[in-house]
Structure 1
Amino acid sequence: MKPKRIIAIAAFGIATEVLFKKKQKRRMWSKKWLQKRKMYSDMNLLRELRTSEPTDFQNYLRMDPNTFDELLKLVSPYIQKEDTVMRQSISPEERLVATLRYLATGRSYECLKFSTGISPQALGRIIPETCKVIYQVLQKDYLKFPKTVQEWMDIGERFNSRWQFPNCGGAIDGKHIRITCPAKTGAFYYNYKKFYSIVLMALVNSDYEFLYVDVGKNGRNSDGAILEYTKFYQYLRNNQLHLPLKEENIEQMNYVFLGDEAFALQKHILRPFSQSELTYKKRIFNYRLSRARNVVENSFGLITARFRILHTAITVQPENAKDIIIAICVLHNFLCRKSKSYFNRKTVDSENKITHDIKIDGEWRNNAVELYGFEKKKQTNVLVEAKQTRQEYLDFFNGNGSVTWQENMIEKGKA
């Protein structure tokens, strides 16, 4: 018999066996202890903590009971499911608790099932869905991007009042968020630090709140170019941000955003002078810029300290990881305004009111891990207008805009 015929007969036999093989019966619909979720889950513990130990409630979910109730009221209509004849649905409260606990601890779905009484398969659907809803219901009020000249001017006035940096719309920074390598992606997410990541790009105001976030660019992208892929940069380049005109600003200087050495110097983006070419006046400029940029470092530090999912590689698909990260950012803004226990002056780096020395002693530094930033690169071929903008701010900080303590910082070697 020819080999091809033998192969064909064998293949037919296997196919027939698979076709007529009896389907295996499901061993059980769900594990018995998971069916007794109300008995074994942490919901009973939380009800006890709510009344007797509110501090422990805060530690468990990263928010106090009243703030949790407010958040639950906002998301419930969008995550409420109907009961069926087969089983009772998982309540909005249980869904939100499971999601917040996941963000707070970074535990795997398999581990989280023991405290929630929810199967890992269900958690894999519930948590990304709830994160997406959290962003949708909070973003309008708690992640509002400025759209008018007056809104930008209000932000600039606040920056000048708090950090003595005029005409500033916020501090820009980007961080690599560690993820596990998605299947069949090769080195697509592999970054210069030699791990897999997606990028969180953020603009932060003077009060440590996110004004704009862009999440999801793969870590393999050039660090210097990632900002250029965002809508923020596209609007900035096309003059669609409705920024104040020079004539409306202090000293008639350009309205600017603050970046570090990873970002290119541009008409509306300032970066420090290179350490290799510092003069006394340039050191003054670098100090004033660094002092104001401190807000973005502290904002990233706060979210890593509060949401320990950022301490580990996020083991979900990149699209779900994006929903998780953006939910953390909007939750950060929500909690900054609503929960005194989440944010206070001890939480972030403090400033001596007399010497204006910034102490690197924020409580977040005791519990946070480093989120890797972008590669610092030397910039060449800078546009004349960009150089002129930075020179105007340098002259201002060494002239009309000087502050009494900046020289002391230079003498102490802190600038």
Structure 2
Amino acid sequence: MSVPFHMSRTSISRHVMATCQVIWDVLHPLELPTPTAEQWRMIAKRFGDLWDYPFAIGALDGKHIALQNPANSGSMYYNYKGYPSVVLMALSDADSCFILVDCGQYGRISDAGVYNISRISTLLEEKQLDIPTATFKISGSDIDIPFMIIGDEAFPLKPYLMKPFAARTLNAKRRLYNYRHSRARRAVECAFGIMSRKFEVFQRPMRVQPDKAVLLTNAAVCLHNFIRRRDGNLVDSSSTVTYEVMENRGDGMQPLAINARGGRATDEAIAIRDGIADFFSVPDGSVHWQNKLVFRHVLRPDGE
């Protein structure tokens, strides 16, 4: 940009950062407002319509935003792959628009570690998000199912935060649950993939300091929602397709390390997940294609 505009790189950088700050200040309250109780219900309905997981109000995940040689950073920014980064933790709706984001934690921290110290965790634990307290009654169970967030194996299992069953505990019913859970969680993977393809800054390590990387990322999140809500939602809602994660191009955005140490779950959280697994296995909660997809590489389903 410096050549066509006859400006120094320093001046261009300063103007870009100023523009990103304006984008964040103006669009943040418009594109990332805290949902109302009625809006949470609408998000859950979309998860039911698009992803066949009607209890979800968001899909949670984190990504490393790669940096190039941040000054005076020591080892705090170096992640498990050995390069410096900051972490973007985000909650997405069913249409792959971001609901809540927390960007800027050190790259060395895992998914669960970032979540535990994030603004998202604080808002959930302190019940500041106006999430409806109503629960679902499902056939064949006396368990009350609340509205919940879905995450991967790294996160803690809580009544409001579900994760898949561990691989060593799987049977037919749990395999079905894991498929339905992982399929719905791809909403946030698609959000990251779409954003990284739309903005080339995420396709290679950012040559800026961490505070500027955070500002660039926050501005991109706002623009992602702004564009997506006006260009239309591109998620294929057909129940007969196998959903593929939109892979990122380049090294600018990478997944966080997966570990299964999300902490000890409560009996309530375990019972809720078991209740959902039961529901997905009975006619009222199943979908016609699930057995074909889940057991397509298995000679016969595992016994219960």
Provide the TM-score with structure 1 as the length reference: 0.66
Quick one: distance in 1 between partners of 2:250 and 2:278?
A: 37
- Given that 1:357 and 1:409 are in contact with CA atoms closer than 8 Å, whether structure 2 keeps it comes out as no
Match of 2:87? Answer: 199
Offset from partner CA, 1:203-252 (integer Å, 9 cap, x none): 010111011111111112243210111222112112222222244x3534
Trace 1:28-47 onto structure 2 (pairs within 5 A).
Answer: none
How much identity, in percent, do the aligned residues show?
34
Where 2:115 maps in the other structure, the secondary structure is helix
Quick one: distance in 2 between partners of 1:143 and 1:241?
A: 13
Where 1:358 maps in the other structure, the secondary structure is coil
Match of 1:401? Answer: 285
Quick one: distance in 2 between partners of 1:114 and 1:243?
A: 51
Alpha-carbon offset, residue 298 of structure 1:
1.0
- Given that 1:352 and 1:358 are in contact with CA atoms closer than 8 Å, whether structure 2 keeps it comes out as no
Match of 1:294? Answer: 186
Quick one: distance in 1 between partners of 2:270 and 2:180?
A: 17
Where 2:195 maps in the other structure, the secondary structure is helix
Structure with greater proportional helix content: 1
Alignment of 1:336 with 2:224, yes or no, is no
What residue identity is the alignment partner of 1:269? L
Match of 1:90? Answer: none
Match of 1:124? Answer: 13
The structure with the largest alpha-carbon Rg is 1
Where 1:227 maps in the other structure, the secondary structure is helix
Q: Give the one of 270, 294, 297 matched to 1:413.
A: 297
Alpha-carbon offset, residue 182 of structure 1:
2.1
- Given that 1:215 and 1:326 are in contact with CA atoms closer than 8 Å, whether structure 2 keeps it comes out as yes
Q: Quote the RMSD (CA, aligned, Å).
A: 2.1
Alpha-carbon offset, residue 369 of structure 1:
3.5
- Given that 1:199 and 1:219 are in contact with CA atoms closer than 8 Å, whether structure 2 keeps it comes out as yes
Alignment of 1:226 with 2:114, yes or no, is yes
Q: How many residues align?
A: 291
Quick one: distance in 2 between partners of 1:151 and 1:172?
A: 18
Match of 1:25? Answer: none
What residue identity is the alignment partner of 2:198? R
What residue identity is the alignment partner of 1:387? I
Alignment of 1:285 with 2:177, yes or no, is yes
Q: Give the one of 258, 263, 278 matched to 1:376.
A: 258
- Given that 1:261 and 1:376 are in contact with CA atoms closer than 8 Å, whether structure 2 keeps it comes out as yes
Alpha-carbon offset, residue 271 of structure 1:
0.7
Offset from partner CA, 1:67-87 (integer Å, 9 cap, x none): xxxxxxxxxxxxxxxxxxxxx
After alignment, is 200-209 or 384-393 more displaced? 384-393
Match of 2:28? Answer: 139
- TM-aligned CA distance change 1:299 to 1:229, over 3 Å: same
- Given that 1:198 and 1:219 are in contact with CA atoms closer than 8 Å, whether structure 2 keeps it comes out as yes
Alpha-carbon offset, residue 181 of structure 1:
2.8
After alignment, is 172-181 or 381-390 more displaced? 381-390
Alignment of 1:176 with 2:64, yes or no, is yes
Where 1:115 maps in the other structure, the secondary structure is coil
Quick one: distance in 2 between partners of 1:241 and 1:140?
A: 15
Match of 2:274? Answer: 391
Quick one: distance in 1 between partners of 2:225 and 2:46?
A: 17
Q: Give the one of 163, 169, 172 matched to 1:271.
A: 163
Structure with greater proportional strand content: 2
- TM-aligned CA distance change 1:411 to 1:222, over 3 Å: closer
What residue identity is the alignment partner of 2:264? N
- Given that 1:189 and 1:198 are in contact with CA atoms closer than 8 Å, whether structure 2 keeps it comes out as yes
- Given that 1:178 and 1:196 are in contact with CA atoms closer than 8 Å, whether structure 2 keeps it comes out as yes
Quick one: distance in 1 between partners of 2:193 and 2:45?
A: 25
Trace 1:63-78 onto structure 2 (pairs within 5 A).
Answer: none
- Given that 1:153 and 1:167 are in contact with CA atoms closer than 8 Å, whether structure 2 keeps it comes out as no
- Given that 1:155 and 1:205 are in contact with CA atoms closer than 8 Å, whether structure 2 keeps it comes out as yes
- Given that 1:224 and 1:263 are in contact with CA atoms closer than 8 Å, whether structure 2 keeps it comes out as yes
Alpha-carbon offset, residue 352 of structure 1:
4.7
Match of 2:96? Answer: 208
Provide the TM-score with structure 2 as the length reference: 0.89
Q: Give the one of 135, 153, 156 matched to 1:261.
A: 153
Q: Which stretches in structure 2 are left out of the alignment for 5+ residues?
A: 139-143
Offset from partner CA, 1:372-397 (integer Å, 9 cap, x none): 22222123522212211211111111
Quick one: distance in 2 between partners of 1:117 and 1:412?
A: 60
What residue identity is the alignment partner of 2:88? L
Offset from partner CA, 1:283-314 (integer Å, 9 cap, x none): 00001111111111111111111111111111
Trace 1:57-96 onto structure 2 (pairs within 5 A).
Answer: none
Alpha-carbon offset, residue 336 of structure 1:
0.8
